[in-house]
Amino acid sequence: MFRKKNVKDIRQQALFLVLCMAVLCFTHAVAGETEGGDTPQAVFKAAQAAGAKKDFATLANLVGPSERAMLAFGTDMGVGMFVEFYEGEKSDELKKKYQKIQDKYGIKDIDEDDSEKLQVTEDTPQEVIDAHIRKRAEKKFGKIDATKLVPDLMGLVAGMPEMAEQTFFPQEKLTDLKIEGDKASGMSGEKKVMFIKEKGRWYLTADVMN
Is residue 187, in this structure, part of any structural domain at all?
yes
Is residue 94, in this structure, part of any structural domain at all?
yes
- Please state whether the predicted TM-score (pTM) of the whole model is above 0.75: yes
Q: How far is CA 2 from CA 118, 128, 154, in A?
A: 11, 11, 22
Is residue 75, in this structure, part of any structural domain at all?
yes
Domain range for 102 is 10-204
Annotate the chain with three-state secondary structure. Answer: CCCCCCCCCHHHHHHHHHHHHHHHHCCCCCCCCCCCECCHHHHHHHHHHHHHCCCHHHHHHHECHHHHHHHHHHHHHHHHHHHHHCCCCCHHHHHHHHHHHHHHHCCCCCCCCCCCCCCCCCCCCHHHHHHHHHHHHHHHHCCCCHHHHHHHHHHHHCCCHHHCCCCCCCCCCEEEEEEECCEEEEEECCEEEEEEEECCEEEECCCCCC
Is residue 5, in this structure, part of any structural domain at all?
no
The pLDDT of residue 128 is 92
Is residue 104, in this structure, part of any structural domain at all?
yes
- The predicted model gives 38-67 an average pLDDT of 90
The pLDDT of residue 24 is 42
**Overall domain count for the chain:** 1
Banded pLDDT at 17 (limits 50, 70, 90): very low
Q: Quote the percentage of the chain above a pLDDT of 70.
A: 80
Euclidean distance between CA atoms 6 and 11, whole angstroms: 14
Is residue 2, in this structure, part of any structural domain at all?
no
Banded pLDDT at 167 (limits 50, 70, 90): confident
If 0-12 CB within 10 Å is exposed, 13-18 middle and 19+ buried, where does residue 67 land? buried
Banded pLDDT at 27 (limits 50, 70, 90): very low
Banded pLDDT at 38 (limits 50, 70, 90): very high
Q: Does the pLDDT at position 56 exceed 80?
A: yes
The pLDDT of residue 112 is 67
Is residue 3, in this structure, part of any structural domain at all?
no
Is residue 65, in this structure, part of any structural domain at all?
yes
The pLDDT of residue 32 is 33
Q: Does the pLDDT at position 113 exceed 70?
A: no
The pLDDT of residue 62 is 84
